[in-house]
Structures are given as structure tokens and as C-alpha cells.
Chain A
Amino acid sequence: VTLRVVLVRPWTDSHGGSGCCSGESRDGICFEGRVDGPHEHDAEVGLVSQAYLRLRADLPDADVQLVSANNSAYLLPSVFRTVRRKRGLLAALRETNRATTAGAVLVDGERVGDVTTLGADGVVAEVRRRAEQLPQ
């Protein structure tokens, strides 16, 4: 059984600008790199990055995804389906909402903590603990 882990990007790690003929708005047009990076909040972005890279390295069998809080098209149906199967409708609705918390750590659809609170090591430890509870 594959453990499915989702790290929700920090709110300041922004993807803004929807719409044809506007599109993504943080990268340059013909020059590489971010133009309007959220420099003042790089620490949190860096923390999530560390947690992500550690998870990929330490738990190679886990399915680890980094998702923006506003990626409704993926986040809402996937969390809702997963949790409803295990815990019913009300829990699914609650967890679907909680899943959109910036910086949240989701394991199999359920929020198990926050990257800022847990730190990169804490995230790995928590996910590892959950992995050990999985049926072999």
C-alpha cells in the first residue's frame, strides 16, 4: 500500500493570475527565474522545500506531492474521495476544508500537522509513524 503524502504550499508561495492571455504571473517572459518572488517569506518556502526533499529521500516508496492551497481541481475531490471512503461524509467535508490550509501536511487525505509547527524533521517523523501503521 502506497502512502500518499501531500504538502500544501505556503500561502506566500503564490501562483496568481488565472485567465487566457494573463496566465501565470511570477516568472519572467523571456528571462529565467521568478520576477516577483515573495522574498520576505522565503523562510517558510524553504522549510516546505526541505520537508519535501527529506520525505522524497527518506521515504522513497511514499507518493509525495507539493500542491498549492488554491488547486481546488485536485485537492478537493482527491481528499474528499479518500476520507469519505474511510470515515464518511461529514469527516470528508471537514478534512476537505482542512486540506486547504497553507503549510498543511496531509497523509492519506487527513491533515496530520503543519510544516511550520513540525519542522522538516518532524514532518518526516510523523509521516514515518503513519507509514508504520499501514497494513503490510
Chain B
Amino acid sequence: LVVEPETTEVHDEPRSVFPAATTPRRPGQLGRSSTVPAIVVAAVVGVLFFLGYRFYSSYLADRVYALDPAFVTPAHQFSDGVDFVPTNKHVVFGHHFTSVAGAAPIVGPAIAVFWGWGPALAWIVLGTIFAAGVHDFGSLAVSLRHRAKNIGTIAQDVISNRARTLFLLIIFFLLTLVNAVFAIVIASLFVANPGAVIPIVVEIPLAIFIGQYIYKTRSAALVPSLVGVVGLYLLIWVGQQFPVDIAPVAEAIGMTANTLWIILLFAYTFVASRIPVWMLLQPRDYINSHQLFIALGVIALGMLVGWSTIVAPVVNDVPADSPSIFPFLFITIACGAISGFHSLVSSGTTAKQIDKETDARYVGYMGAIGEGSLATGAVLATTAGVVATRAEWDGLYPDFGTAGGGAVGNFVNGVGAFANNIGVPLDLAVIFAAVVVISFAATTMDTGVRLQRYIVQEIAELAGWQKLARNLTLASLIAVAVPLALALLPGGYTFSKLWLLFGTTNQLTAGLALSVVAVWVTRMKRNPIPAIVPLVFLLAMTTWALIRQLLDFVEAGEWFLAPLDLVIFVLAMWLIVEAALALRGSAGRHTHDEMGSPVDSGPVDSGSGEPSRR
């Protein structure tokens, strides 16, 4: 376990994600240490989230989104017993939360503590309460008033036809970066921790077998899936005994182990994205959902039993050549503070199941809080769990490149230490944590490539390329080839740089969803400020970061990332223009129906709509 600063190309050198905590604190790095018990910080964050839910979400529900318990939701209006089903809010929350919680809110915070745990946690808390809550809740509310359409379609209805194309393009780049980034994360974890290979690889046929067993025998799913979890953890021991190192094979064919893993991962996702969801993804997600609850329990219990204290500085005195907090902190932590992807989940299956419009507050806002809690756990694991002293922590976060390259490993080691606090042997505990993270990252890739294929098909449909739109194999190949190229093409880029670009596209997605919410709220003659403030803040941080990165890429001669950054910047400008035009257009177009209620759907241009009430 060694520290390897992230100064090399990701595909050239196997970069450790389990760096040891041995490097002493560098002179001049004088950020103030803290010795606050992690559990106390977790409790304070919990209280703030509670206050946010109790008061701010109530304000949003009453004054901004004006939820009406008598409104006939799409689940009632189109009830079909399949997709449109009026459902208890706790049932919907269970679905919604497991659909949004994953690996992404772990990685960003694990990098961002580089600036100190104070700014990282402050952005997570403020972002969750004032941005993510507004965004997730708002996307759900606006979808409910638009027949549970997805946010891309609503963008077309509410803003303009161009907005849907813009949305598709932003999501295309977002998924490209997500898939590339997670392939790099998994490959790095496999190389650094060959003991995790067997459990993760065997989990795939294990999940298929369990799914088939449940399906064919019509047996209860709980016990087989728990057996799957136990089997997975037994495989951790097997993996430890038989670590799989593919470096010799990679060398024999003239590539690095990381490169070979990345190619193998995308080959796997190509196949996985073609298999019916219920055969692989569903049983695997079921096993992963148990792991999520186990990991959250281990973090909480480990913090409490071990009474771990935060050894990282509140605000870190970072080296002079580091990215500045403004704007990069707000790009580094996307998921966990605000994630545009939640708008897809909120406005998709979730909106079709909402029984009463007032349930949207609980499902949407609490979903954001759940993700914020996961991000808080990541901050605490990487500032309290991972090492015991400030000097050791400084060794893990000497510069931004090392912080980025080691982020996932630091989280894994931190959770491993928490598990060790409750009696799990440290070496097994670390592999347990690695398996949890890789499982989530792999599932994200599985789904990400599948969604990328949908995007390719939809873009082809819009462009009139019917052959591509209907050819699943070709669409899947494109969905795999683009992120694979990004992960492998030479260019001198590093994981941290790709992560920042991913953050910008995710924030742009959130920006587009917030634009839709703001326009809708304005047209309803309600207060749009709660949506406009996070929208303006996100767009400002995103464009600022894109310009700074573009200049850096040009200066460094990174001629693959620079054009990519430029394209995303153009999309950001396009989004700002669309949002400004739509908001200006909507400001003078307050419309009401004959019952005195706002008209609920229809584009800005037409102002048509069909509100319905019970």
C-alpha cells in the first residue's frame, strides 16, 4: 500500500487507491486540525437535515409548489395497475431512495475533503437543503402537473423544442463521463486490491443464478438474496487467498493492467446492457441494496463504538497550485449536494406512483436528504475513519491529484476502519468496503451503459437516423465505444480531471431541471426565487469552472480534454440562453384556469393545459 501521486496518465500506471498513511505533514500546511467526534458531526448534520425537511420543504410545498391534496395525480388519472399506480408514500420512497443512492455521492466528497471537512460538509448540507431538495422535490412536483412525463419531455413542453435536444446532449456527455470515470475507479480498485476480483466477478453469475432461482421456483426473494450477500462476503475470504493479478497477461499483450481491466469492463457492460433487466440488474441491485444498509449501519455503529474523531483540518491550507474552492468544490461534489440525475428518477417511475400530490414533499425532499446523508458518511469516513492523526491525513491529501486518485481508496479504508471498530479484522474489513464500493460502481456502469444506449437511440430518432435508432447492437456499440475511448485515449488526463468534467455535466443537468421548475413556478404566479437562486449559483460555478479548466487544458496541451470542455461549455451557454429566454417569456404569462388554479401544462408559447382536481 503506497502513495502514488496522480501525475501520470490513468491508463499508463496502476495508481494505488489504498495509499498508506505514512507521509508526514508538509511544512506550511497549517490548516487547523479538529478533534470533533465524528458521531457528533453526524448528529448535527442530522438535526440540520431535519430542520430543512420540517421547515423549508414545508415552505416549498405550501408557497412555491402549492401542493394540493385534492389534485388528481397521474397515478389516479391513468391508473393501469402496472406503471401508473397510486402508492403509499413509504413504498414510493423505498423505490425512489434505492434508485438514487449509489457510488457517486461517495467519490465526490472523498475528494473534496482536500479543502477541509468544513467546506465539504457545508456544501453538502446547504446544497442538500437549498438546492437538491428544491430540485428533486420540484422535478417531482412539475412532473405530477404534467401527466408524469419525464423531465426531458417537460423541458420541451415548458421551455422549447430545443431544450429537449439540449437535455439529451447534456445527458449523453454526463453518461459518457460517468461510465469512463467508474471504469477507471473499478480498474484501479482491482489493480490495487486483487483480492476483490473474485468476489466481484463471481457476484455476476451468482446474481443471475439467484434471480433465476427466485423466478423459476417462485420462492421468497429475501433469504436467497441474503444468502447471496453472505456468499459474497465468503468470497472475500476466497479472494484474499487467491488474489487475481492480470498484470502479467496485460504485459504479454502490451498494455497495462488498468487498460486491460477497463477493456474487460466495457466488454462486460456491452453484454450486460443487452440482458433483460430482471435477469441480472434486478437481483444484483437487490443484493446491493442489502449491502447499502449494511454499510450505512457499519459506518454509524463503527463511529459510535470507536468514538472516532475527525483528524482532518476544518479548512485545509492547500498548496498554491491547487484548484480553488470557488468554483471547484461545487463541481467536485455534485451527487451528495445536488445531482441532476435525480430529476430523471423523480420524473420517471416515481411520479407515476404518487398517490397524493402532498406526498411529493416526503418522497422528493427526503430522497435528497438520503443522498446527502450518504455523502456525509463519505466525508466522515475520509476524515475520521481512514487515519488516526493529522500527519497521516496530510499524507493522504498532499495535493489535489493525489486526493483524487486516492479518494475511493480512502473511503474504503475509512469504512474498513469503522468495521474494524466493531470487531471485523482490518484486512477483511477493508476488502468488505472495497466490495461494497465496486459493487455499486459496477451497477452504475451496467445501468449507465444501458441508459447511454437509450440516449443514442433517442438522438438517432430525433435526427431521423431510423436504422441506428432501431439497431440495438449498433446503439450499444456506440454506447460502449465512446466512454471506452475517453477512458483509454492518450491525453495526459487524470481521474480528478475527468471527475471535475463529470461534475460540471451533472450540475448542468440539474440546471436544466431547475430551469424547468423555475419557469413552471413563475408561470403559476408563485415565488420562483427558491429555484432561481440554486440555478444561478450552479450555472455560475459550472461556467466558471469550465473556463478555468479550458484555460488549464490549453496551457497543458491536453488536446482531447480541451475540445470536450469547450463542447460542454457551449452546452452550458446554450442552457443559460434557453433558461433566460424561458424565464423572461414566462414572467408575463401568468395563466389561471376557471377554478382559480394555475394552468398546469403546456409550452410557454401556447399556455394550454388540462388541470384536473378530485
Are B281 and A74 neighbours in the complex by a CB distance under 8 Å?
no
Q: Which residues of B contact A12 (CB under 8 A)?
A: 215, 276, 278
If the complex has contacts A12-B278, A36-B450, are A20 and B88 also in contact, measured as CB distance less than 8 A? no
Are B149 and A25 neighbours in the complex by a CB distance under 8 Å?
no
For the complex, what is the distance from the CA of A108 to the CA of B295, rounded to whole Å? 31
For the complex, what is the distance from the CA of A114 to the CA of B179, rounded to whole Å? 40
Task: Out of A24, A29, A116, name the residue touching B171 (CB < 8 Å).
Answer: A29
Q: Tell me whether B91 is interfacial, beta carbon within 8 Å.
A: yes
For the complex, what is the distance from the CA of A31 to the CA of B289, rounded to whole Å? 28
Using a CB–CB cutoff of 8 Å, the interface residues on chain A facing chain B are 11-32, 34-36, 38, 45-46, 48-53, 56, 63, 65-76, 78, 96-103, 114, 116
Are A21 and B506 neighbours in the complex by a CB distance under 8 Å?
yes
For the complex, what is the distance from the CA of A59 to the CA of B211, rounded to whole Å? 33
A-facing mask of B289-328, CB < 8 A → 1, else 0?
Answer: 1101100000000000000000000000000000000000
* Majority-rule SS of B interface residues: helix
Are B150 and A30 neighbours in the complex by a CB distance under 8 Å?
yes
Number of A-B contacts (CB under 8 A): 233
Give the shortest distance, in Å, between B430 (CB) and chain A (any CB).
Answer: 22
For the complex, what is the distance from the CA of A84 to the CA of B508, rounded to whole Å? 48
For the complex, what is the distance from the CA of A7 to the CA of B506, rounded to whole Å? 36
Give the shortest distance, in Å, between A34 (CB) and chain B (any CB).
Answer: 8
Using a CB–CB cutoff of 8 Å, the interface residues on chain B facing chain A are 79-83, 85, 87-88, 90-91, 93-95, 97-105, 149-150, 152-153, 156, 164, 167-168, 171, 174-175, 178, 211, 214-215, 218-223, 225, 276-278, 280-282, 284-286, 288-290, 292-293, 335-336, 339, 341-342, 344-345, 348-349, 371, 440, 443-448, 450-451, 454-455, 457-458, 461, 506
Task: Out of B99, B215, B448, name the residue touching A11 (CB < 8 Å).
Answer: B215
Q: Which residues of A contact B276 (CB under 8 A)?
A: 12, 14, 36, 38
Task: Out of B218, B221, B288, name the residue touching A18 (CB < 8 Å).
Answer: B288
CB nearest to B445 among chain A residues? A22
4 nearest A-B residue pairs (beta carbon):
A19-B102, A16-B281, A30-B152, A49-B81
For the complex, what is the distance from the CA of A75 to the CA of B221, rounded to whole Å? 12
CB nearest to A31 among chain B residues? B458
Are B99 and A72 neighbours in the complex by a CB distance under 8 Å?
no
Are A11 and B214 neighbours in the complex by a CB distance under 8 Å?
yes
CB nearest to B346 among chain A residues? A23
Task: Out of B164, B222, B444, name the residue touching A30 (CB < 8 Å).
Answer: B164
CB nearest to B215 among chain A residues? A11
Are B98 and A31 neighbours in the complex by a CB distance under 8 Å?
no
For the complex, what is the distance from the CA of A101 to the CA of B100, rounded to whole Å? 24
For the complex, what is the distance from the CA of A87 to the CA of B197, rounded to whole Å? 44
CB nearest to A30 among chain B residues? B152
For the complex, what is the distance from the CA of A91 to the CA of B134, rounded to whole Å? 42
Give the shortest distance, in Å, between A6 (CB) and chain B (any CB).
Answer: 9
Task: Out of A14, A97, A114, name the residue touching B282 (CB < 8 Å).
Answer: A14
Task: Out of B175, B218, B455, name the residue touching A101 (CB < 8 Å).
Answer: B218
For the complex, what is the distance from the CA of A50 to the CA of B81, rounded to whole Å? 7
Are B458 and A100 neighbours in the complex by a CB distance under 8 Å?
no
Task: Out of A23, A31, A38, name the residue touching B345 (CB < 8 Å).
Answer: A23
Given contacts A73-B93, A73-B98, 8 further A-B contacts (CB under 8 A): A17-B446, A18-B289, A19-B444, A24-B349, A32-B153, A70-B225, A71-B98, A102-B218
For the complex, what is the distance from the CA of A18 to the CA of B289, rounded to whole Å? 8
Give the shortest distance, in Å, between A71 (CB) and chain B (any CB).
Answer: 4
Are A52 and B150 neighbours in the complex by a CB distance under 8 Å?
no
If the complex has contacts A49-B82, A102-B218, are A19 and B282 also in contact, measured as CB distance less than 8 A? no
Are A97 and B450 neighbours in the complex by a CB distance under 8 Å?
no
Q: Which residues of B contact A102 (CB under 8 A)?
A: 214-215, 218, 221
For the complex, what is the distance from the CA of A31 to the CA of B462, rounded to whole Å? 10
If the complex has contacts A22-B447, A23-B341, are A74 and B81 also in contact, measured as CB distance less than 8 A? no
For the complex, what is the distance from the CA of A113 to the CA of B281, rounded to whole Å? 27
For the complex, what is the distance from the CA of A26 to the CA of B273, rounded to whole Å? 11
Give the shortest distance, in Å, between B408 (CB) and chain A (any CB).
Answer: 14
Are B95 and A71 neighbours in the complex by a CB distance under 8 Å?
yes
Q: Which residues of B contact A71 (CB under 8 A)?
A: 91, 94-95, 98
For the complex, what is the distance from the CA of A85 to the CA of B220, rounded to whole Å? 22
For the complex, what is the distance from the CA of A102 to the CA of B282, rounded to whole Å? 12
Are B82 and A20 neighbours in the complex by a CB distance under 8 Å?
no
Are A19 and B81 neighbours in the complex by a CB distance under 8 Å?
no
For the complex, what is the distance from the CA of A72 to the CA of B216, rounded to whole Å? 21
CB nearest to A76 among chain B residues? B222
CB nearest to B171 among chain A residues? A29
If the complex has contacts A18-B288, A68-B95, A73-B93, are A27 and B443 also in contact, measured as CB distance less than 8 A? no
Q: Which residues of A contact B167 (CB under 8 A)?
A: 29-30
Sample of 17 A–B contacts (CB below 8 Å):
A11-B215, A15-B282, A15-B349, A16-B278, A18-B101, A18-B292, A18-B447, A20-B371, A27-B150, A29-B344, A30-B153, A30-B156, A30-B164, A31-B153, A49-B82, A66-B87, A101-B221
